[in-house]
Amino acid sequence: MVSPPQPGPPPRPQSRGFLLQFWDRVTEGLEIGQLWKQFHTDARASYRFYRKDFDARAPQQTTRHNFWHTAHELMWAILEKLTPARRVLLLLGVILLIFPGGGYSYRGKTGSPEIVEFDMRFYGGALLFILLMLEIADRVVMKRDLEIARDIQSWLLPVQPPEVPGLGIAFFTRAANTVAGDYYDVFARTPAPNRDSPFLIAVADVAGKSIPAALLMATFQASLKTLSVTPCSLAELVAGMNQYACSNSQSGLRFTTAFLGEYRPASRTLAYINAGHNAPILRRAGGAVERLSNGGVPLGILADAPYQSGEVVLQSGDWLVIFTDGVIEAMNARGEEYGEARLLPVLASGATATPEQMLLRIMDDVDRFAGAAPQHDDITCLLLKTA
């Protein structure tokens, strides 16, 4: 007796395959945990964004004890980000969702009561959907403009370090937003460098972030490139940079911290001026640590500010770490800062590493410490090692 054929697995519905493809396209292949982590990060960033305006508007005592005042101020902090027409759309949509319907009754031709009911939730949702589409259109335009600005900014920064006799160089930068206010560069001051030609080393951090800081960073780069080719000393170059910065700093509100050094390969001497920047760490081959702090106030605050130059002689095996405050002020989820106390052991443990290897160690350590916590400042690090 021939047994009847066993039924095979049911065919997979085509609709299920379509849904999976649609879901993969929406999520870009991210897992549920990754999506939740991304949402959590975005929600915290948005809350801080609106909370900043709320804190500026509301007195401290009301923000802590008056719930209704807090809700009122937060609502206005959100509404004021919209145009008046979009505020009306938002309020109408919310009202129609909160009070969705109603009705009335009347007597028909037969004398029996007739009841007419209406539901406005659809129209409330439609108004909110229209508002969402308008906001997305603005975001797409802004994102495109920011991506263009990011590309232009990347042209202003070196991709590969130059070849400096007896000196290994590595650098890294990461913007907190699409564009950054950090600047770094190493370049020869003469068109045709030789063994004794000076090289200019620069790391700067414009106060603030995003587009305003990026625009001032571009002007900083342009003025530095222009002044560096003139026959002037490092002190004269910094004085010229400061005067130019004062004319574009909104009375000191948009100042720039900077570390500028002039390195001569033949003598291994580094003359430098620290204009209010984080003091770079010079770790000698023997383990001693020095800070390069000679200088003055940040650029753009006082047009006639004096700057004191310093000079060090680098020896074989010495490390010089120049960084912006985004490195040592990187925060974890508990609100703790990374700090120089964590940076120094990483530097000490890789004394024999190449600059590229050391830079990777430092940034890996910073990222492990920060974890998934959002960062609010640009991160830039430039490493020099004397061969």
Classify 28 in phi/psi space as left (phi over 0), alpha (psi -120 to 50) or beta. left
Domain containing 273 — which CATH number? 3.60.40.10
Mean pLDDT of 317-324: 96
pLDDT at 9: 55
Please determine, for residue 7, whether its predicted confidence score (pLDDT) is greater than 70. Answer: no
Domain that holds residue 315: 160-386
Residue 199 covered by a domain:
yes
pLDDT at 180: 83
Mean pLDDT of 316-324: 95
Cα–Cα distances (Å) from 201 to 72, 114, 185, in that order, read 51, 85, 6
pLDDT at 26: 79
Lowest mean pLDDT among 278-287, 315-324, 343-352: 343-352
**Which residue would you say has higher pLDDT here, 292 or 69?**
292
Residue 283 covered by a domain:
yes
Residue 95 covered by a domain:
no
Is the CB of residue 246 less than 8 Å from the CB of residue 200?
A: no
Residue 158 is encoded by which pair of tokens? 């070196």
Residue 264 covered by a domain:
yes
pLDDT band at 116 (very low <50, low <70, confident <90, very high): low
pLDDT at 103: 60
Please determine, for residue 347, whether its predicted confidence score (pLDDT) is greater than 50. Answer: yes
pLDDT band at 62 (very low <50, low <70, confident <90, very high): very low
* 3-state secondary structure at position 229: coil
Mean pLDDT of 44-57: 67
Distance between CA 23 and CA 224 in Å, rounded?
50
pLDDT at 268: 94
Distance between CA 243 and CA 307 in Å, rounded?
12
DSSP 8-state assignment for residue 60: H
pLDDT at 63: 46
Mean pLDDT of 207-222: 86
Please determine, for residue 6, whether its predicted confidence score (pLDDT) is greater than 60. Answer: no
Residue 187 covered by a domain:
yes
Provide the total of helices (H) and of strands (E) in the chain, helices listed first: 11, 13
Is the CB of residue 308 less than 8 Å from the CB of residue 359?
A: no
Distance between CA 355 and CA 350 in Å, rounded?
10
Cα–Cα distances (Å) from 92 to 38, 73, 127, 191, in that order, read 30, 19, 7, 65
Distance between CA 199 and CA 264 in Å, rounded?
7
| Dihedral sign (CA 245, 250, 254, 257) | positive
pLDDT at 75: 77
Distance between CA 280 and CA 343 in Å, rounded?
12
Please determine, for residue 102, whether its predicted confidence score (pLDDT) is greater than 80. Answer: no
Report the DSSP beta bridge partners of residue 172: 381
When divided into structural domains, the chain yields a total of 1
Please determine, for residue 1, whether its predicted confidence score (pLDDT) is greater than 50. Answer: no
Residue 367 covered by a domain:
yes
Distance between CA 56 and CA 359 in Å, rounded?
39
pLDDT at 111: 64
Is the CB of residue 346 less than 8 Å from the CB of residue 327?
A: no
Of 184, 194, 237, whose CA–CA distance to 379 is shortest? 184
Of 111, 130, 114, whose CA–CA distance to 122 is shortest? 130
Distance between CA 286 and CA 329 in Å, rounded?
28
Is the CB of residue 119 less than 8 Å from the CB of residue 100?
A: yes
Distance between CA 174 and CA 377 in Å, rounded?
9
Residue 111 covered by a domain:
no
Distance between CA 43 and CA 387 in Å, rounded?
48
Please determine, for residue 267, whether its predicted confidence score (pLDDT) is greater than 80. Answer: yes
Average pLDDT of the chain to the nearest whole number: 84
pLDDT band at 66 (very low <50, low <70, confident <90, very high): low
pLDDT digits (tens, 9 = 90+) for 175-200: 888 788 899 999 998 876 667 789 99
Q: In this structure, how many other beta carbons lie within 10 angstroms of the beta carbon of residue 169? A: 21
Please determine, for residue 49, whether its predicted confidence score (pLDDT) is greater than 90. Answer: no
Distance between CA 145 and CA 127 in Å, rounded?
28
Mean pLDDT of 311-326: 95
Residue 120 covered by a domain:
no
Is the CB of residue 341 less than 8 Å from the CB of residue 278?
A: no
